[in-house]
Amino acid sequence: KQEVTQIPAALSVPEGENLVLNCSFTDSAIYNLQWFRQDPGKGLTSLLLIQSSQREQTSGRLNASLDKSSGRSTLYIAASQPGDSATYLCAAPSGANSGYALNFGKGTSLLVTP
């Protein structure tokens, strides 16, 4: 079974800092990997999806990288803002044969202080 781990579990930074969230997964035979954001008590917002053939994907101040061989993905947030405060979730499928079955990490809870 695909195991997804996210480090750190929580992070507090002052506004303006660049930061990196880490995600590792045990089964590298994945079709893609997806990053989400979740605000307290709310559903998930899709941030970025990286296909297995890609090394990185960018959207605004967000950049996600994928290294399948090492089983790692990172989410880079540039010039953080208080509105970025949320829980960030990494999700990897259960290997090549069940690519739709997402396995989630426990998330990194981010607090950006003004």
DSSP 47-68: EEEEETT-SEEEETTEEEEEET
Interaction of residue 24 with other proteins, rule CB under 8 A: no
Least distance from other proteins to the Cβ atom of residue 76, Å: 19
User: Would you count residue 45 as binding other proteins (CB under 8 A)?
Assistant: yes
Is 32 among the residues that bind other proteins (CB under 8 A)?
yes
Q: What residue type is assigned to position 101 of the chain?
A: A
Residues 6+ away with beta carbon under 8 Å from 12:
110, 111, 112, 113
Which one of residues 11, 49, 63, 109 is an interface residue with other proteins (CB under 8 A)?
A: 49
Query: Which positions lie near other proteins, rule CB under 8 A?
Result: 4, 31-32, 34, 36, 41-46, 49, 89, 91, 93, 98-107
